[in-house]
Amino acid sequence: EVQLVQSGGGLVQAGGSLNLSCAASGFTYGDWVIGWFRQAPGKEREGVACMATSDGSAYYIDRLDGRFTFSSDSAKNTVYLQMNSLKPEDTAVYYCAGRETTSSWCRPVAPKFSAWGQGTQVTVSS
């Protein structure tokens, strides 16, 4: 059974940083891609970033302006999303999602992902 467990998130002032983590079980590191999605109140879910654990190739939407960065710990089968210079418009529930593939190409398109984390709230105050 595939399971993604998220941690991190919380309340931070604008300009601050947070680190989200997504720990996977049921996937083999190197054989899955992770996407991060967020949903703000009253808005549709948005895919923001994606990373292939096969080689670390990553994709970020342009609007992040380089503020978010992936890292990972293969021994823990965990991927981290470091979020810097946070803005109030980054406020949302963040979800990680995974799907099994050895491809190094990924895009955060929700229907492509088969497993989802429980979500974690990120609130950025102005």
**What number of other Cβ atoms are within 10 A of residue 63's Cβ?**
10
Angular region, 9: left φ>0, alpha ψ -120 to 50, beta rest: left
pLDDT at 12: 98
Tell me the pLDDT tens digit for each residue of 60-95: 999 999 999 999 999 999 999 999 999 999 999 999
Tell me the pLDDT tens digit for each residue of 29-46: 999 999 999 999 999 999
